[in-house]
Structure 1
Amino acid sequence: MTKIKLHWQILIALALAVAVGSWTGPDATLMGVSAYAIYDFVGTLFLNALKMLVVPLIVASLITGVASIGSGASLGRLGGKTLLYYLSTTLLAVLVGLGMANLIAPGIVDGQPARQLIGLDAETASVAEAVQGRGSADLLGIFLRMVPTNVVEAAARGEMLGLIFFSLLFGYFLTQVQGRGGEVLLAFWQGVFEVMMRMTDWVMRFAPVGVFALVAKVAAGTGLAALQPLLLFLLTVLLGLAVHFFLVLPLLLRLLGRVDPLRHYQAMAPALLTAFSTASSSATLPLTMECLEKNAGVSNRVSSFVLPLGATVNMDGTALYECVAVLFIAQAYGVELSLGMQFTVVLLALLTSIGVAGIPAASLVAIVIILGAVGLPAEGIGLILAVDRILDMCRTAVNVFSDSCGAVIIGRSEGETGILTATRPS
Structure 2
Amino acid sequence: MMKLHWQIMIAIVIAIFIGLLTPPSSQIYQVYGFFGTLFLNALKMVIVPLIMASIISSMASLNQGDNLGRLGLKTLGYYATTSLIAILIGLTVVNITSPGIIDGAPAGELLNLHADSAELESTLMKVEGRGSKDLIEIFIRMIPTNIVAAAAEGQMLGLIFFSLLFGFFMGRVEGRRGEVLRDFWKGVSKTMVLITQFVLKFAPIGIFALIAKTVSATGFNAFAPMLVFLLTVITALALHAFVALPLLLKFVGGVSPLKQLSVMSPAMLMAFSTASSSATLPLTMECVKKRAGVSHKTASFVLPLGATVNMDGTALYECVAAMFIAQAYGLELGLVTQFTIVLVALLTSIGVAGIPAASLVAITVILAAIGLPLEAIGLLLVTDRILDMMRTAVNVYSDACGTVIIARTEGESWVLSPEQDHEVTEPDND
TM-score by length of 2: 0.61
Query: Is residue 280–residue 396 contact of structure 1 (8 Å, CA) maintained in 2?
Result: yes
Residue 269 of structure 1 pairs with residue 265 of structure 2: yes
The C-alpha deviation readout for 1:375-417, integer Å capped at 9, x for no partner, is: 2112122331211121111111111111101100000001112
Provide the rounded CA distance (Å) in 2 between the counterparts of 1:379 and 1:418: 52
TM-score by length of 1: 0.61
Structure 2 matches for 1:335-354, cutoff 5 A? 335-354=331-350
User: What is aligned with 1:51?
Assistant: none
Question: Structure 1 residue 356: deviation in Å?
Answer: 2.2
- Point out where structure 1 has 5 or more consecutive residues left out of the alignment: 1-17, 27-61, 121-131, 161-220
User: What is aligned with 1:217?
Assistant: none
Provide the rounded CA distance (Å) in 2 between the counterparts of 1:133 and 1:341: 19
Question: Structure 1 residue 151: deviation in Å?
Answer: 6.8
User: What is aligned with 1:410?
Assistant: 406
Provide the rounded CA distance (Å) in 2 between the counterparts of 1:325 and 1:232: 12
Indicate the larger mover: 380-389 or 249-258.
Answer: 380-389
Residue identity in the other structure for 1:95: L
User: What is aligned with 1:362?
Assistant: 358
Query: Is residue 135–residue 369 contact of structure 1 (8 Å, CA) maintained in 2?
Result: no
User: What is aligned with 2:92?
Assistant: 99
User: What is aligned with 2:233?
Assistant: 237
User: What is aligned with 2:148?
Assistant: none
Provide the rounded CA distance (Å) in 2 between the counterparts of 1:414 and 1:329: 43
User: What is aligned with 2:421?
Assistant: 423
Residue identity in the other structure for 1:304: S
From 106, 110, 115, give the equivalent of 2:108. 115
Provide the rounded CA distance (Å) in 2 between the counterparts of 1:312 and 1:376: 28
User: What is aligned with 1:86?
Assistant: 79
From 248, 256, 260, give the equivalent of 1:260. 256
Distance 1:152 1:410, change over 3 A: same
Query: Is residue 105–residue 331 contact of structure 1 (8 Å, CA) maintained in 2?
Result: yes
Query: Is residue 159–residue 358 contact of structure 1 (8 Å, CA) maintained in 2?
Result: no
Query: Is residue 249–residue 255 contact of structure 2 (8 Å, CA) maintained in 1?
Result: yes
Provide the rounded CA distance (Å) in 2 between the counterparts of 1:75 and 1:117: 49
1:287 counterpart SS class: helix
Question: Structure 1 residue 423: deviation in Å?
Answer: 3.4
Structure 2 matches for 1:37-56, cutoff 5 A? none
From 249, 252, 262, give the equivalent of 2:245. 249
Structure 2 matches for 1:27-426, cutoff 5 A? 76-119=69-112, 136=156, 139=160, 140-141=162-163, 149=180, 230-357=226-353, 361-421=357-417, 422-424=420-422
Distance 1:158 1:277, change over 3 A: farther
Identity %: 57
Count of paired positions: 294
1:371 counterpart SS class: helix
1:117 counterpart SS class: coil
Provide the rounded CA distance (Å) in 2 between the counterparts of 1:135 and 1:385: 25
1:256 counterpart SS class: helix
Query: Is residue 237–residue 391 contact of structure 2 (8 Å, CA) maintained in 1?
Result: yes
Distance 1:149 1:292, change over 3 A: same
Provide the rounded CA distance (Å) in 2 between the counterparts of 1:359 and 1:252: 28
2:375 counterpart SS class: helix
The C-alpha deviation readout for 1:307-344, integer Å capped at 9, x for no partner, is: 11111111111111111111100001111101111111
Provide the rounded CA distance (Å) in 2 between the counterparts of 1:75 and 1:372: 32
Question: Structure 1 residue 227: deviation in Å?
Answer: 6.6
